[in-house]
A and B are shown apart, each in its own frame.
Chain A
Amino acid sequence: MATEGGTRRLAAVDEAARALGLFAGQKAADALALVPNLATFDHDPAADRAALEALCDWCVRFSPAVAIDGRDGLFLDITGTDHLWGGEAAMLVDLAARLARWGVPARAAIADTAGAAWALARHGDDLSIAPPGQQRAAIQDLPVAALRLEDAAEAQLPRLGLHRVGQLLALPRAQLAKRFGLATTRRLDQALGLAAEALTFRRPASPWFDRLAFLEPISAPEDLARAAGDALALICRRLEAEGRGAKRFEVTFHRLDGRAYPARAGLARIGRDAARLTRLIVPKLDTIDPGFGIEVVTVRAAAVEPMAPAQDRLDADADASLDATLAPLVDRLVNRLGETRVWRADPHASHVPERSVARVAPLDPPSALAGWDPDRPRPVRLFKRPEAITALAKVPDDPPIQFTWRGRSHRVRRAEGPERIGQEWWRAGVGQTDTGPGKIRDYYRVEDDAGGRFWIYRQGLFDGDDAPKWWIHGLFG
């Protein structure tokens, strides 16, 4: 039930309610007058959407290309996958039966075009299949509402006596377009396959998809590991046959009750070694709750690139290239710890110390920038946040003679500096950053009487009322 302009209306009705003569859009008062013991629930579009997305993910078992349509529909592009079920009819029956078993009321149809399938599923017979090239015959007896027209056109057509799609098809196109808008003819063409229609698939369609179905559901951890290995071997064999490799692999375990558990593995460089991938995936299988069993395993490869076949050397240990030996280690670490926890520091063109390092993937080619300036000494340890210190300086512009950090006082024996580093004013819009003297840092390298070397700075200048503050930013060894 949804509230619309102060009126409570039915947003959706189930099968039993429809039999009693209720319909979506009816006023709640009218509905309750017809059926006094009507059970109503508040309309929750977000939950509906989430449920539809879950269903969309579940449908991946039928085809990797699934698109959400509006608020209550799904498009499955089953090109090339129907033979896995032994034909379109068997696939459609399987899909509908499974949905019925979950208590999902659904209507389904198969046609050459998304438009025709939409029309058949909503206004034709349930489970109807339009034979290839026969969309025109299949949809011409359907009401014009089956064409996904704009509201105005849809309301206007029946008033002119045009109730069936076939009647529209018989009219001259030019007049049709002039009277009801170009959208009408486009929808007609899309249904007939004369115009292309782009579907937004929930995940990009990829030919690098394989599935493994089991006669009996599996649930033992070692079975899951073996199934993952088999599925990966399946796709790796195909990759190898076409001279390709991939960087991202995803093995999804579909449980009997429709939940899907994906396990992902990434490689630092493209590869197709099923055994290695299996080793990366297996530690992640702990998070999979098999419940009553896993019935289907699908595997998907992404970031597929051409990969030259390589001959394993007999003396592989002797001088394998550096990257080839490091790659497995990097893969293990990245898959175990996460991508953000393994990095190489590359120079970044910035004078601000905390921005002068860019984190890149360990095996990425080095950046074209020259390294860090050797004439500007930098500390070995750089604090993420500078820590405040209290410092005593003889003359305002001098380095301090003494400072206290973490409750310990250090007497400065010698100092070097300052190195003045200012704010990068170009990083934000004009007037948005304070680039005034308050943001200027004067860095000093100082050595205390024990020999410890510190990187401290004074923020701001001595003018006006605000005394500049001292901070410690890092430690030299």
Chain B
Amino acid sequence: MAGSREARLAALRGRIAAIEAGTRTPTPVLPFGDPAIDGCFPGGGLPLGGWHEVTGAGLEDETGAAPAAFVSLLLRSLFSTGVKTGAIVWVARRDDLFAPGLAGLGFPAGRLIQVRARDEAETLSVLEDALSTQGVAAAVGEAEAPDLTAGRRLQLACERRGGFGVVLHRRPYGGRAGQGGAVSGSASFSRWRIAPSPTPPPPDDIGLGPPRWRVELERCRGGRPGAWILESSDAAHPFRLVSPLADHDMAPAEPGLRRVG
């Protein structure tokens, strides 16, 4: 009895997956190279024909530095693993993205086309336009909060050419805190929250070691959430798993956000 029940459930799951996928062919995925992370995704990695939300925690919500670094490393692996070729379009309303900094992380800055949009709607429409263009491997847009319609449009644009889209949630200067995070386009495949994480002293105790991030996978369609401390590495896969967040040594990584005076 139990066996047939499981078989029936498996069959139903397959049918649901077939309905959800529609006429889509299975898209290639971007693996992180670590089973602990890749296991959270249904396909063993981030699918390319979809878009992902990346938000920053605390102060990063406005400055968007750690999310930008995370996204650029993610895109680096897109090229270093040879999954994709083509250009990267980065749309933002502010032009504080600094190409030498991205290049320092190993990001192919020569492929980067930067676009400065005038408002939120323009950002999203340029992002959609770029994603549905052949020759664009990935597109990143810094937006406040795309609504459900915009999210769905992005998803369709991604599916057309298998583009890899990222919406980097970023609050405008002087914007209210905690407003953008409330609305979430559930059309995205996954949502990430990135915060910096303290690094241990480097072996020779001089200077700074490779940067670390506290990466939370908050939501993932068909997968399960997770949280890890990741460190950048120079290998083909840009992240090295340092520890899952459950580790007590790493847990109190929040005090930087306390208010002073």
Q: Which residues of A are in contact with B by a Cβ distance under 8 Å?
A: 317, 320, 322, 324-326, 328-330, 332-333, 337, 340-345, 347, 353, 356-357, 362, 366, 371-372, 374, 377-384, 404, 407-410, 413-416, 445, 447-453, 474-477
Range class of the B interface residue count: 35 or more
Flag if A377 contacts B113 (CB, 8 Å).
no
Flag if A337 contacts B118 (CB, 8 Å).
yes
Is the CB of B115 closer than 8 A to any CB of chain A?
A: yes
Flag if B212 contacts A380 (CB, 8 Å).
no
A333 CB contact (under 8 Å) in B69, B126, B201: B126
Flag if B109 contacts A381 (CB, 8 Å).
no
Flag if A408 contacts B96 (CB, 8 Å).
no
7 A-B pairs closest in CB distance: A477-B69, A450-B256, A325-B135, A345-B99, A475-B65, A451-B196, A416-B207
In the assembled complex, the Cα of A347 lies from the Cα of B72 at a distance in Å of 18
In the complex, which residue of chain A has the Cβ closest to the Cβ of B86?
A322
**Given A344-B114, A409-B260, A451 and B68 contact (CB-CB distance below 8 Å):** no
Flag if A447 contacts B104 (CB, 8 Å).
no
**Given A445-B208, A451-B253, A372 and B260 contact (CB-CB distance below 8 Å):** no
Flag if A414 contacts B201 (CB, 8 Å).
yes
Is the CB of B218 closer than 8 A to any CB of chain A?
A: no
Flag if B198 contacts A477 (CB, 8 Å).
no
Task: Tell me the interface secondary structure of chain A in the complex.
Answer: mixed
Is the CB of B136 closer than 8 A to any CB of chain A?
A: yes
Flag if B65 contacts A380 (CB, 8 Å).
yes
A477 CB contact (under 8 Å) in B68, B114, B118, B207: B68
Some 11 contacts from A to B, beta carbons below 8 A apart, are: A329-B133, A357-B100, A378-B104, A380-B72, A407-B260, A414-B207, A449-B198, A450-B196, A451-B211, A452-B256, A477-B105
Interface residues of B in 88-140 (CB under 8 A from A): 89, 95-105, 109-110, 112-118, 122, 126, 129-130, 133-136
In the complex, which residue of chain B has the Cβ closest to the Cβ of A340?
B116
Q: In the complex, what residues of A have CB within 8 A of residue B58's CB?
A: 450
In the complex, which residue of chain B has the Cβ closest to the Cβ of A329?
B133
Q: Mark B51-76, 1 if CB is under 8 A from A, else 0.
A: 00000001110011111111010000
Closest CB of chain A to B190's CB: distance in Å? 19
In the assembled complex, the Cα of A410 lies from the Cα of B198 at a distance in Å of 13
Flag if A341 contacts B117 (CB, 8 Å).
yes
Q: A342-B114, A345-B99, A345-B109 are in contact. List 7 more A-B contacts (CB 8 A).
A: A337-B115, A445-B208, A447-B208, A449-B198, A451-B212, A452-B66, A477-B69
Flag if B129 contacts A320 (CB, 8 Å).
no
Task: Tell me the interface secondary structure of chain B in the complex.
Answer: mixed
Q: In the complex, what residues of B have CB within 8 A of residue A404's CB?
A: 260
Q: Which residues of B are in contact with A by a Cβ distance under 8 Å?
A: 58-60, 63-70, 72, 85-87, 89, 95-105, 109-110, 112-118, 122, 126, 129-130, 133-136, 195-199, 201, 206-208, 211-214, 253-257, 259-261
Q: In the complex, what residues of B have CB within 8 A of residue A325's CB?
A: 133-135
In the assembled complex, the Cα of A475 lies from the Cα of B66 at a distance in Å of 8
B59 CB contact (under 8 Å) in A322, A340, A356, A452: A452
**Given A380-B97, A380-B101, A450-B253, A344 and B112 contact (CB-CB distance below 8 Å):** yes
Flag if B68 contacts A381 (CB, 8 Å).
yes
B100 CB contact (under 8 Å) in A343, A356, A408, A415: A356
**Given A356-B100, A476-B69, A326 and B255 contact (CB-CB distance below 8 Å):** no
**Given A372-B104, A450-B198, A341 and B65 contact (CB-CB distance below 8 Å):** no
Flag if B133 contacts A380 (CB, 8 Å).
no
**Given A380-B97, A381-B65, A416-B207, A320 and B199 contact (CB-CB distance below 8 Å):** no
In the complex, which residue of chain A has the Cβ closest to the Cβ of B161?
A317
Flag if B196 contacts A477 (CB, 8 Å).
yes
Q: In the complex, what residues of B have CB within 8 A of residue A345's CB?
A: 99-100, 109, 112, 114
Flag if A378 contacts B96 (CB, 8 Å).
no
Most B-side CB within 10 Å, residue of A378, A408, A448, A452: A452
Flag if B208 contacts A453 (CB, 8 Å).
yes
Flag if A380 contacts B115 (CB, 8 Å).
no
Closest CB of chain A to B90's CB: distance in Å? 10
In the complex, which residue of chain A has the Cβ closest to the Cβ of B69?
A477
